[in-house]
Amino acid sequence: MVTRRAFTLIELLAVVAILGIVGVITVVAYTTVSADVRRTSAVEQVKALLGQARALALESGTSTMVAFRARNVNGFARMEAIIAQPAGDSAFWQLPDGASPTPMPPGHLQQVKVSRFVPVEGTDPVLLPRGTEVAVPGHALSNPDSGGGSTTSLPYSGDIQYLPPTHMGQTVEATGVMPGIIFARDGAAVTGVPEHQSRFGWVDLDRDGRQGLHGAEWIIGQGEYPPCDGCFVLPLLSPGSGAAQTNVEYPEWWPLCQETELDEPWVTTGPFLVVYDADELRQVEDARTWSPTRAGAADRAFDHTRFIDGYGRRLFFNRFSGVGLEEADR
């Protein structure tokens, strides 16, 4: 007779434990690889879009913009890229009567020239992979290392504050900007619209000539100026420590923030864009502090800047050769 030895309970439990550990390691490895693949895919998509827009600018001799708006797709936040060119008209936006920022932020103008853009015919909006977002440096609003007024610098490389987009996921957060980049007719990345000598541009998504904001539409330049309540952009930082305060340097006096998918705010542009993993950001930082308040907006912008400075992938172009460049994770 052959005696067959059975597994003891302890041995079975040990095997189950080992299988569990292997399973956890496999899931973590798969999740990490999946996140890396998703981020790389987003970077390549954005680089291709920037190359397409730059080629259109050179070919047409017209400034060309790539704007990124926040979308909610099946309950998940997604970024949608739109290629647009000037519609041919611009107007002066006037700070509404009775509205006076106190104190007036350094460099803030009560009258700003703004150009209307429309999506380029034959180009379709492009959805970026889920979990990735695009931010822009705040050069169009303020240069934090200029030392003017109450501006203070960040203890980061280049002293750059990044302006994150609105997040239209399942959580309610303080609003963000619609980031973008503009290529001039010579292919150089610029922060304004050379054709009109305007500081900002906005994308007329429905091509009706009216700027949609806050559930209404406005004809800029005809005495209609949309309210900008709830748009807090740059946090005021303590000198030296860089600690975020509960006030903001640029409050709601310009229509910069996107609240809904149908909004058409001014696009905040910079000399380069940054692609980052929004899911990873929300694992590292406490998104519960990003409430739609002044303090929440300041915390949100500060946390984004800290994360993006460490893990974002900067995308820009050599203005002379046209070669797309990337500064990978630092």
Q: Give the β-pairing of 111-119 and 200-203.
A: parallel
Residue-wise pLDDT for 113-126, tens only, equals 899 999 999 999 99
What per-residue confidence (pLDDT) applies to 102? Answer: 54
Q: What is the pTM of this model?
A: 0.80
What per-residue confidence (pLDDT) applies to 104? Answer: 54
What per-residue confidence (pLDDT) applies to 152? Answer: 37
Take residue 205 and report the two structure tokens written for it: 């998504």
Confidence check: pLDDT of 84 > 70: yes
Q: What is the total residue count of the chain?
A: 330
Give the C-alpha distances (Å, rounded to integers) separating 31 from 24, 67, 74, 258, 294.
10, 29, 21, 31, 35
pLDDT tier, 80 (very low <50, low <70, confident <90, very high otherwise):
very high
What per-residue confidence (pLDDT) applies to 265? Answer: 93
What per-residue confidence (pLDDT) applies to 199? Answer: 84
What per-residue confidence (pLDDT) applies to 231? Answer: 79
What per-residue confidence (pLDDT) applies to 71? Answer: 94
| 303: three-class secondary structure by DSSP | helix
Residue 287: how many other CB atoms lie within 10 Å: 19
pLDDT tier, 299 (very low <50, low <70, confident <90, very high otherwise):
confident
Burial of residue 232 (CB within 10 Å: 0-12, 13-18, 19+) is buried
Q: What is the mean predicted confidence (pLDDT) over 24-30?
A: 50
Confidence check: pLDDT of 239 > 60: no
Contacts of residue 265, defined as CB under 8 A and 6 or more positions apart, other chains included, come to 177, 178, 202, 213, 231, 255, 256, 257, 258
Residue-wise pLDDT for 198-207, tens only, equals 889 999 999 9
Confidence check: pLDDT of 329 > 70: no
Take residue 245 and report the two structure tokens written for it: 């305060």
What per-residue confidence (pLDDT) applies to 240? Answer: 52
For the chain, what is the mean pLDDT?
79
Q: Which of 19, 136, 8 is nearest to 66 (CA)?
A: 136
Beta strand ranges found along the chain (DSSP E): 64-73, 76-94, 111-119, 126-127, 132-137, 162-163, 176-183, 189-190, 200-203, 211-213, 216-218, 235-237, 244-248, 257-258, 266-269, 273-277, 313-317, 324-327
Confidence check: pLDDT of 7 > 70: no
As a whole number of angstroms, the distance between CA 156 and CA 209 comes to 41
Q: Which of 100-104, 170-174, 184-188, 251-255 has the highest mean pLDDT?
A: 184-188
pLDDT tier, 100 (very low <50, low <70, confident <90, very high otherwise):
low
Confidence check: pLDDT of 294 > 70: yes
Confidence check: pLDDT of 288 > 80: yes
Answer with the residue of higher pLDDT: 324 or 186.
186
Q: What is the mean predicted confidence (pLDDT) over 275-295?
A: 90
Answer with the residue of higher pLDDT: 222 or 93.
93
As a whole number of angstroms, the distance between CA 190 and CA 193 comes to 8
Residue 69: how many other CB atoms lie within 10 Å: 25
pLDDT tier, 224 (very low <50, low <70, confident <90, very high otherwise):
confident
Take residue 58 and report the two structure tokens written for it: 């050179």
Burial of residue 160 (CB within 10 Å: 0-12, 13-18, 19+) is buried
Give the C-alpha distances (Å, rounded to integers) separating 320 from 46, 59, 195.
20, 16, 20
What per-residue confidence (pLDDT) applies to 14? Answer: 74
Q: Which of 126, 36, 95 is nearest to 223 (CA)?
A: 95
